[in-house]
Amino acid sequence: MSSFSKTDFIVMAFGNIIGSGIFLASSLVITIAGPLTPLAYLLGGLVMMMEVAFIIEMAIANPVPGSFKVCAQEVFGDWWGFVNGWMFWASGVLGMASEVTACAIFARFWLPSIPLWVLSLLFAVAITIINFNDLKGLSKISLGLSLTKILTLILFIFIGILLAIGVPIGHVSQNPIFLPLLNQDPYQSIMGLFGSMLLIFFAYTGTGIIAMAAVETENPEKTVPPAAKIITLTIILLYTLAAFFMVTLLPAELVDSKVSPFVQLFTMFQIPYAGDIINFILLTSALSALNSQVYSASRMLFSLAKHAQAPKVVGYQNRKNIPVTAIAISGTVLLLTAMLSYILPEQIFIYTVSASGFLALVNWLSVSATHYYYRKKLLITSPEKLKYKAPGYPYLSWLCFGSVLIAILSIPLYPDQLPGLYSGCILLFIISACYFIVHAIK
């Protein structure tokens, strides 16, 4: 059976977390949070670090596919294990839908006459086929895509620093840094900060892959914790600095929620073909996130089958231990959600982002609460399983829980997120109803 090396693990995590949440949804965040956008990404990143530490502790203590779901089931019972697992999968599929929509939006930069839904379907089919590779093949594909977007963020930050000190870039030679906070109503700024948190957390919600990939990583108790530190600190630094230069370099009148601020900025520099080059890089970054999300969603579906919470056939693996049925089902549902771009071509991105983000935040609530009670249980019954302990217990467990709860309660501050909130709540209700129906039949 093949497994991930430390490098493979880092690559897959970067691939799943860094995506449209920073490269496309950041334009939405800027319209809501304004000059507090960098602070919003920093705060979201700190909560993400806590959540990742909880996931790693549980994955190492209970190294099975979908470990945090299994731990939640042990703590809160079969109902919540069922809901938690299917909710993670639904959030993953909706996240895949937002990424495939982002791919289509980027592709339409060159192909404006092709409908969004056609491009979405093409990308959905291609990425599903790619995921039938074995782990090593999948990691090699992810490596190139992940490096591209990390280097893009680094390049953007480097250019921002040069401009900040007055070094000319393209046709921009003056120092464009300004202090927008001086002209911002403090109350409006704070409300914008809270209203943007769903989108901010969406940018970090790919962390569930850490639990999935940890189980398939060599020597997880030694490999995963230091690798996760590299991943989380790097992403927080890149996101916060990139957000800072976005709000300080991009004139407010040019901010367009439907266009990547990266493309707008590089076009503004008037460097020949800069817009095309950056758009291509952003397309590969969205493909990378989409690729990794298909991986994590299919592994959760596989875990559900192994725990008799999905049809037995879903747990089928081929000779290379690839859960081909789970991948095929996840890919098929992705195709169906991609078709939403035919019905809602203008709103599809914000709707899928907000619905996926809401379900992911409910999962984060579950992870925080599960970590508190699961650590408490292991300290009494099996302390030897705690080979890695997340710091700050029990205070950080509840700090993380409270922060995520505030983010959920702040969703109505940006009304365009409400359809996603409603659809997420409906999905929660449907999943819960399915549990009771299945058990009533049994």
Q: What is the pLDDT of residue 392?
A: 92
Contacts of 113-116 with CB under 8 Å at 24 or more apart are 115/342, 115/345, 116/341, 116/342, 116/345, 116/348
CB 106 within 8 A of CB 275: no
Please, what's the b/e burial string for 316-326 (b: 16 or more CB within 10 A of its CB; e: otherwise)? eeeeeebbebb
Q: How far is the C-alpha of 103 from the C-alpha of 430, rounded, in Å?
A: 29
pLDDT-derived band at 179, boundaries 50, 70, 90: very low
Q: Nearest Cα to 324, choosing from 355, 294, 347, 293?
A: 294
Which tens digits make up the pLDDT trace of 299-336? 778 878 887 788 888 888 777 777 888 888 888 887 77
Question: Is pLDDT at 422 greater than 70 in this prediction?
Answer: yes
Which residue type sits at 358? F
Which tens digits make up the pLDDT trace of 385-411? 898 999 999 999 999 999 999 988 988
Which residue type sits at 121? L
Sign of the CA dihedral with 109 first, then 111, 116, and 118 last:
negative
Beta carbons within 10 angstroms of residue 395's beta carbon:
10
State the average pLDDT over residues 132-144.
56
Which residue type sits at 60? I
Which tens digits make up the pLDDT trace of 71-112? 888 889 888 888 888 888 888 787 777 778 888 888 888 888
Q: What is the pLDDT of residue 31?
A: 86
Indicate the average pLDDT of the chain: 80
Q: Nearest Cα to 181, choosing from 35, 39, 43?
A: 35
Q: How far is the C-alpha of 300 from the C-alpha of 320, rounded, in Å?
A: 18
State the average pLDDT over residues 120-131.
80
Which tens digits make up the pLDDT trace of 353-391? 777 778 888 888 999 999 999 999 999 999 988 989 999
Q: What is the pLDDT of residue 144?
A: 62
Question: Is pLDDT at 181 greater than 50 in this prediction?
Answer: no
Which residue type sits at 421? L
Which tens digits make up the pLDDT trace of 302-312? 878 887 788 88
Which tens digits make up the pLDDT trace of 199-232? 898 888 777 667 666 666 767 778 888 888 888 9
In order, the DSSP letters of 57-81 are HHHHHS-STTHHHHHHHHHH-HHHH
Here the tokens at position 247 are 């709000």
Calculate the CA 321 to chain-centre distance: 25
Please tell me whether residue 169 adopts helix, strand or coil conformation.
strand
State the average pLDDT over residues 149-175.
76
Q: How far is the C-alpha of 29 from the C-alpha of 38, rounded, in Å?
A: 10
Cα-Cα-Cα-Cα torsion 253, 255, 257, 259, nearest 10 degrees, comes to: 120
The top-scoring range by mean pLDDT among 185-199, 201-215, 225-239, 274-288 is: 225-239
pLDDT-derived band at 5, boundaries 50, 70, 90: low
Higher pLDDT: 291 or 346? It is: 291
In order, the DSSP letters of 74-138 are HHH-HHHHHHHHHHHHHHHHHHHHHHHHHHHHHHTTT-TTS-HHHHHHHHHHHHHHHTTS-HHHH
Q: What is the pLDDT of residue 173?
A: 52
Higher pLDDT: 217 or 28? It is: 28
Q: What is the pLDDT of residue 211?
A: 67
What is the percent of the chain with per-residue pLDDT over 90, rounded to a whole number? 15
Q: What is the pLDDT of residue 395?
A: 94
Q: Residue 429 class from Cβ within 10 Å (0-12 exposed, 13-18 middle, 19+ buried)?
A: exposed
State the average pLDDT over residues 270-297.
77
Give the CA diameter of the chain.
Answer: 71
Sign of the CA dihedral with 49 first, then 422, 370, and 215 last:
negative
What's the per-residue H, E or C state across 387-440? CCCCCCCCHHHHHHHHHHHHHHHCHHHCHHHHHHHHHHHHHHHHHHHHHHHHHH
Question: Is pLDDT at 352 greater than 70 in this prediction?
Answer: yes
State the average pLDDT over residues 193-203.
87
Here the tokens at position 251 are 């004139």
| Structural domains of the chain sorted by starting position, each given as residue range(s) with its CATH number in brackets | 6-441 (1.20.1740.10)
Which residue type sits at 30? I
Question: What are the backbone angles phi and psi of residue 171, rounded to the nearest 5°?
Answer: -100, 10
Contacts of residue 175, Cβ cutoff 8 Å, sequence gap at least 6: 163, 164, 165, 166
Looking at the DSSP bridge assignments, the partners of residue 90 are none
